[in-house]
Amino acid sequence: MKFKTTKNQNTRFNDINWNDLRFGQFFSDHMFIVNYKNGKWDDGEIVPYGPLPIEPAMCTLHYAQACFEGLKAFRDVKGGANLFRPEKNAARLNHSGERLCIPNLDVNFQVEAMEELVKIDNKFIPTKRGQSLYLRPFVFGSANFLGVHASSEYMYIIITSPVSSYYANGLEPVKILITDEYVRAVRGGLGNTKAAANYAASLYGGTKAKEKGFSQVLWLDGVTLNFVDEVGAMNIMFVIDGEIVTPSLEQGTILPGITRMSVLELASELGLKATERRISVQEVVEAHRSGHLQECFGTGTAAVISPVGQLTYKGEDMIINNNKIGPIAQKLYDTITGIQYGEIEDKKGWVRHFEF
Ligand code: PLP
Ligand code: COI
């Protein structure tokens, strides 16, 4: 054991409804905690999952100096488990942290903590295809004060949660509202980080969309409202005339998704053309009207590849591929999940495999 470990004497295993693993509702027995104080991180330890002692003046409750990550551990069909590109999540947490004045945490240290935590709670990795153990690393200012400035103390924690698909209906296409009323991020802001505040900013528009029967919002750029950014918890991709197109990242308002990156890296191997560029909402509407918009799907850790069956913009409902998953989304889903579950050879070294 690399980290000091205190075993949970009261397992949570039997409290979990294994027949209905709603996303992020159940938590496993242990969590990893490391504290930052006096200019350095301590050694970190694994302890039973449970409440944290928090003072009302803890700065994050007031000023949201917090960011998080999301990645999954999969039960390998040949035994053991696979973490999917965990070093990318660790590096992205540091990138988010930097923008929020949160001190970095060594990437290898983070990945070792993830692996050790999954090993100790390996019985919580679900056994069915489509299910996984979701890891949620997060870091936040933990000092107690009310002045607006960066915290002098931080906590980095990893919790894990057995999950099935993010959307209740699995691979069923989702309905998404393109909003021109609210924005998620602006140039120079936090858009390309996993700052907790981005999710707070998205809640109001997201709730309004849900009231109208949509599962998520597709956000447009916060300056002109002309260009497509991303969905609440996914990056967005379109297939227009056989080519995958996805919004480029140079404006700094879009989260650089690891699933997005993986799709772009896989595309040429699968004989697909994929392009990153700015995409106007008008282009999407016109491609749909003229019959050139063949597929639309979201990419994300929680959502994997999630087909979009309907986009609605300014009252115009665009039904895509007869509200069915298209061949390109299906191929990407099969390939990525195949690698994650150890069914397809991992030629790119994406998977961190370990036994327990
Ligand atoms: N965009 C947002 C806002 C997200 O929350 C996520 C989920 O992590 C993504 C995109 C997809 O990123 P990834 O593929 O790294 O999970
Ligand atoms: C993820 O896909 O890991 C996410 O972070 C999405 C979400 C549940 C916020």
Instruction: Phi first, then psi: give them for residue 38, nearest 5 degrees.
Output: 50, 40
* Beta carbons of 300 and 254 less than 8 angstroms apart: no
Residue nearest to atom 9 of ligand 2 (CA): 233
pLDDT of residue 172: 86
Atom of ligand 2 nearest to the CA of 300: 2
Atom of ligand 1 nearest to the CA of 262: 14
- Which ligand has the minimum distance to the alpha carbon of residue 258? 1
CA dihedral over 315, 243, 229, 194, signed as positive or negative? positive
- 39/330 Cα distance (integer angstroms): 48
Kindly list the domain boundaries of the chain, sorted by start residue: 4-163, 174-340
Using alpha carbons only, give the angle 314, 236, 179 rounded to the nearest 5 degrees.
25
pLDDT of residue 191: 97
- 64/200 Cα distance (integer angstroms): 10
Q: How far is the CA of 26 from the centre of ligand 2 (A)?
A: 15
Atom of ligand 2 nearest to the CA of 71: 3
Atom of ligand 1 nearest to the CA of 230: 1
pLDDT of the chain, 356 residues: tens digit per residue: 689 999 999 999 999 999 999 899 999 999 999 999 999 999 999 999 999 999 999 999 999 999 999 999 999 999 999 999 999 999 999 999 999 999 999 999 999 999 999 999 999 999 999 999 999 999 999 999 999 999 999 999 999 999 997 766 668 899 999 999 999 999 999 999 999 999 999 999 999 999 999 999 999 999 999 999 999 899 999 999 999 999 999 999 999 999 999 999 999 999 999 999 999 999 999 999 999 999 999 999 988 999 999 999 999 999 999 999 999 999 999 999 999 999 999 999 999 999 99
In testing the pocket of ligand 2, which one of 161, 301, 305, 340 has its CB within 8 Å of the most ligand atoms? 301
- 123/70 Cα distance (integer angstroms): 20
Write the single-letter amino acid at 332. L
- 85/259 Cα distance (integer angstroms): 10
Residue nearest to atom 5 of ligand 2 (CA): 70
Q: How far is the CA of 134 from the centre of ligand 2 (A)?
A: 9
Atom of ligand 2 nearest to the CA of 166: 8
pLDDT of residue 165: 79
* Beta carbons of 320 and 308 less than 8 angstroms apart: yes
What's the half-sphere exposure (Cβ side, CA atoms, 13 Å) at 272?
Answer: 21
Atom of ligand 2 nearest to the CA of 23: 8
Instruction: Confirm or reject CATH 3.20.10.10 for domain 174-340, answering yes or no.
Output: yes
Ligand 1 pocket residues where CB is under 6 Å: 70, 230, 233-235, 255, 257-260, 299-301
pLDDT of residue 13: 97
Using alpha carbons only, give the angle 147, 152, 158 rounded to the nearest 5 degrees.
115
Q: How far is the CA of 193 from the centre of ligand 2 (A)?
A: 12
Q: How far is the CA of 301 from the centre of ligand 1 (A)?
A: 6
Ligand 2 pocket residues where CB is under 6 Å: 70, 233, 300-302
- Which ligand has the minimum distance to the alpha carbon of residue 302? 2
* Beta carbons of 276 and 248 less than 8 angstroms apart: yes
For 272-285, the three-class secondary structure string (H helix, E strand, C coil) is CEEEECCCEHHHHH
Four-way CATH pick for 4-163: 2.60.120.260, 3.40.50.970, 1.20.1260.10, 3.30.470.10:
3.30.470.10
> Whole-prediction pTM value?
0.97
- Which ligand has the minimum distance to the alpha carbon of residue 253? 1
**What are the residues whose beta carbons fall under 8 Å from the beta carbon of 95, sequence distance 6 or more?**
192, 193
In testing the pocket of ligand 1, which one of 254, 255, 336 has its CB within 8 Å of the most ligand atoms? 255
* Beta carbons of 67 and 92 less than 8 angstroms apart: no
Residue 101 CB neighbours (<10 A): 11
* Beta carbons of 258 and 88 less than 8 angstroms apart: yes
